[in-house]
Structure formats: C-alpha cells, structure tokens
C-alpha cells in the first residue's frame, strides 16, 4: 500500500476475500485502503465486517485503529480519539494508533493533549517527521494534507 496504488491494493485484498470470504484481515485491510483514499463510509463497512468475522482476532487493535482512521478522514475527530485510545488499550505500542491519537486530538482543538501525545509518539518513533509521513504513509493527496495538518497542529516539524 505504501506505493499509493490504492485501487490495486483493494483488488488484491478482494482476491483474498474471493478465496476466503471470511478472511478478517483482508476485509480490514480493504477498510484501511479506503481510509487512505478518503472513503470513510466504505472503510467502516469493511472494518465492521472484519470484526464480525473475527471478534477476538489477535489483530483486533489494528482493526480498531482503522476505525479511528476512518473517523478522522470523515472529520469526526472526537470519535477518532476514542477509537485510537481503544486501540492503544488493546496494544499500547501500536504506532499507527499513536499517530491517529495525536492528529485527532490536534484537529479536535485539544492541543495540549495532542502535544503530550506527540511527545509520547516521538519517544516510540524518534525518526518521525512530516517528511517521513509524506514518504511513508500511503494516504492519497487530500487525506495526506489533512493528516499533515493535524501533525503540524500537534507541533511536529519538517
């Protein structure tokens, strides 16, 4: 997915679902791919499907972080914060959930909390920068700019 060939990624995940219609991870990653492309409603459907397929899945924290990302893309920042916190309760070291918590707090105008979250994230991911985000995360241009904007509000520099 980091090549930003999002439609191609969706096709591959759908192939996996054709082979195994109850493959929870494939459903979840279709959801993630939709969030990277700014399609939160479709993402939520697939993430819910993944949790129905496997409610106690070892990757549940990642699935829940996907809900945070979908809420963020839809501009529902308080919901994104709640789901990021839930993901971190399940797996405290999940970097994607830490990033979502940081940007969601910032976009929700909870800047002091976002700054604290960024401090924690920087301890876990010392190489984090806006340049790293642009290079490493597979967001399409619109969602990428909103994500970068959230990180800037939290205090992350180039």
- Write down the domain spans for the chain: 6-154
Q: What is the pLDDT of residue 21?
A: 76
4-23: burial string, b at 16+ Cβ within 10 Å, e else: eebeebbebbeeebeeeeeb
- CATH class as words, domain 6-154: mainly alpha
Q: What is the pLDDT of residue 106?
A: 98
Q: What is the pLDDT of residue 127?
A: 95
Q: What is the pLDDT of residue 2?
A: 45
Q: What is the pLDDT of residue 23?
A: 82
Ranges of residues in the chain with a pLDDT under 70 are: 1-10, 12-20
């Amino acid at each position: 997915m980091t090549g930003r060939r999002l439609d191609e990624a969706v096709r591959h995940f759908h192939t996996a679902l054709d082979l195994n219609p109850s493959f929870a991870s494939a459903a979840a990653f279709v959801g993630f791919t939709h969030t990277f492309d700014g399609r939160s409603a479709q993402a939520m459907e697939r993430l819910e499907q993944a949790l129905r397929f496997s409610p106690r899945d070892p990757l549940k924290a990642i699935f829940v972080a996907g809900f945070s990302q979908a809420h963020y893309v839809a501009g529902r920042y308080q919901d994104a914060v709640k789901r990021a916190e839930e993901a971190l309760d399940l797996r405290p070291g999940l970097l994607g959930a830490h990033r979502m918590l940081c940007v969601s707090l910032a976009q929700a105008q909870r800047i002091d909390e976002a700054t604290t979250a960024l401090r924690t994230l920087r301890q876990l991911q010392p190489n984090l920068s806006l340049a790293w985000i642009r290079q490493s995360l597979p967001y399409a241009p619109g969602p990428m700019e909103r994500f970068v904007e959230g990180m800037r509000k939290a205090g992350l520099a180039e």
